[in-house]
Chains A and B, each alone.
Chain A
Amino acid sequence: MTPLIAPADIPYLPRGVRLQRDRVRDITVLQAPERAMRLDAVGEAILSELDGIRSMASIAAALAARYDAPEAQISADMRDFLTGLIERRMVFVKGAP
């Protein structure tokens, strides 16, 4: 899978895509055009950090510190997870300012 995001890119949820608590199933879902995607704890942790300001690398560093996990591993997981969502047009990317 060719990555669709580089460490310096800034990922964000575009208009029409939002995180939502599913109170009936007691899970968090990513709501998008014609799709509601169930998120696991890792997915929710990543997507909750997307603020349209910080780069993927900077978010990976923050998550590595918070969960005391290797930054390289988190970066690789983030890159693959976000690439899947970029393919589905549920995450957008902009270059560093």
Chain B
Amino acid sequence: MKDRPAQPADIDGNPVTPGLPMAMLAEITHRCPLACPYCSNPVELVRAGAEISAEDWGRVFRQAADLGVLQVHISGGEPGARRDLAQIVANARDAGLYVNLITSGIGITEARLRELDDAGVDHVQLSLQGIRPDMADRISGHPGSWDKKMAFAEWVTRIGFPLTINAVVHRQNMERLPEMLDLAERLGARRIEVATVQFHGWADLNRDALMPTREQAAFARKIVNEGRLRLRGRMVIDYVPADHHAVYPKACMGGWGSTGLNVGPDGTVLPCHAAQSIPWMRFENVQDRSLSDIWHLSDSFNAFRGTAWMPEPCQSCERKNVDFGGCRCQAMALAGDARATDPVCSLSPLHAGVVEAAEASAAATTDSLVYRRMSRSD
């Protein structure tokens, strides 16, 4: 008798059909010289001793390419905190992947950047925390970060890498968005990603200091729309709006387990970078199981695939294949239930409370920040 392959099923046992992933986020370390108060890493950070080796990453990249992944985003923490970053990059290119390097620019010298060029980095994304030294250094919690970043941007364009600027916007800097666009253009960026802080994890600890006002969200939208017209053919603007002020939720990950996956520093595989905020969900590790098995067969990836698991009002909503019920981690954070309709959706029964809480946070007068750091528990 042959073993029958397990039929993938969602959280309620409905059969699902996994597609193929296009992109993988490789968070190769959680170590970082910066301490941004909205860091997207989990609040429980992985320590250096638990990081998987460059050789392990090579195996993961080959498995990812076999699975259909075309691009890898090598990120962290700060990926430059790993001395073997160039080897990791070379392993990704050997596997046939397009390599995006997502960096703070801190701790990578010009000589090292040239090594990364030789190793095959295709594209560099540099994060900026402000348009001037005072704001940049305060938000990043790293004195001198601004000067280092400006030098780094110059090396990037001197070597010839395509450059994207990553700018996270929030209440304390949203008025500076026009100047941020100017700065990105001056630095020679082909693209800028303007992302409003997503209030999970570290950022949620700083809601009262970072939540934008409704007026700021409208201002940012206007600046982005004008900028796209003015900069057409010169610089691309990608924009993640403030979803607490939106009518419908964002289509997180383009649908759970549909096009992307995330591998953490210790080899844990996640359907999205914030998935560990769902406390009951169990995740698998590339040290124990192949990426293909994890993608196709694991409970975590199958849990919210398809649409059969959706509750009302999502189940009968015509947008269920547009925004997929929104963000599972946000449902967890705001409704206390990862299966719920994302409460930022105007159709959610919890929506009025979300808006009220967002407006209360936006009206808060505090500017003081809780910075990201490793716990001191051991």
Contacts and interface: CB of A to CB of B under 8 A. Distances in A.
A4 B66 contact: no
B5 interface: no
A16 B191 contact: no
Contact of B190 (A4, A20, A29, A33): A33
B305 to A, nearest CB: 19
A22 B70 contact: yes
| Chain A to chain B: the 7 pairs with minimum beta-carbon distance, closest first | A16-B162, A33-B123, A24-B68, A36-B70, A31-B98, A89-B190, A4-B233
Contacts of A17: 162
Given A24-B67, A36-B22, A36-B70, A31 B235 contact: no
A34 B235 CA distance: 14
Interface of A: 4, 14-18, 20, 22, 24-25, 29, 31-34, 36, 86-89
Interface string B224-251: 0000000011111010000000000000
B71 A31 contact: yes
Interface in B60-78: 65-68, 70-71, 73
A25 B20 contact: yes
A31 B70 contact: yes
A25 B122 CA distance: 22
A34 B100 contact: yes
B123 A16 contact: yes
B19 to A, nearest CB: 10
Q: How large is the interface on B (under 10, 10 to 19, 20 to 34, 35 or more residues)?
A: 20 to 34
20 contacts: A14-B162, A15-B160, A15-B162, A16-B123, A24-B20, A24-B65, A31-B98, A33-B100, A33-B122, A33-B123, A34-B73, A34-B123, A34-B164, A34-B191, A86-B233, A87-B232, A87-B233, A88-B236, A89-B190, A89-B235
Given A4-B233, A36-B71, A89-B190, 19 more contacts: A14-B162, A15-B161, A16-B190, A20-B70, A25-B68, A31-B70, A31-B98, A32-B123, A33-B125, A33-B164, A33-B191, A34-B73, A34-B123, A34-B125, A34-B191, A34-B238, A87-B236, A89-B191, A89-B234
Contacts of A14: 162
Contacts of A16: 122-123, 161-162, 190
A9 to B, nearest CB: 12
A30 to B, nearest CB: 10
Interface in B106-165: 122-123, 125, 160-162, 164
Given A34-B191, A36-B98, A24 B66 contact: yes
A29 to B, nearest CB: 6
